[in-house]
Structure 1
Amino acid sequence: MSMFIILLSLIAIGVAGYSVYYTFKIAGQEKRLKGEFDTDIPENVKQHPYMRNPVFLAILVFTVFVVVMILYLSFNFIN
């Protein structure tokens, strides 16, 4: 694997890690705020708050896709 592929992989993993960290940080702020205008959260979402969050799912799917594409392209075009 070339140095470019390794660097690209590390950047992709770093961006995904930062986005997960930032999303958890924002989600923690939401818990501290007590809004009077919010509706009740459904019970199944309360039981699994992270698995039901589309932001987390999109980050997971995108990260897996990018890593698989990087590995596929790096193994197919090894010189």
Structure 2
Amino acid sequence: MSNFTTILFTLALIISIVSLIYTFKVGRTVSERRAKQDGQISEKVQAHPYIRNPVFLAFLIAGILSLAYIFYLAYTISW
């Protein structure tokens, strides 16, 4: 493996672990809120419902990293 591949793998692993932890944290918060009476949704979440979702963030970051790796390979590999 080249150094760049190792760095990308490590970065993807870190992002996956952080996303998993964040997803469990959000899930726990949601389940605690459901146990109580329904309340008003935060204005920040109402304004940016997709940005606050860790699944969408994971897909966005994975897509950007995949495209970056594809372009890197396209420019460095000589056919």
Fold shared per TM-score above 0.5: yes
* Match in the other structure for 1:27: 26
In structure 1, the gaps of 5 or more residues are 41-51
* Match in the other structure for 2:72: 73
In structure 2, the gaps of 5 or more residues are 42-48
* Match in the other structure for 1:38: 39
Q: Give TM-score scaled by structure 2 length.
A: 0.60
* Match in the other structure for 1:64: 63
1:36, CA displacement in angstroms?
A: 4.7
CA deviations over 1:10-48 (Å, ceiling 9, x no partner): 1232122113202211122113323557227xxxxxxxx
1:66, CA displacement in angstroms?
A: 1.2
* Match in the other structure for 1:17: 16
Q: CA RMSD in A?
A: 2.6
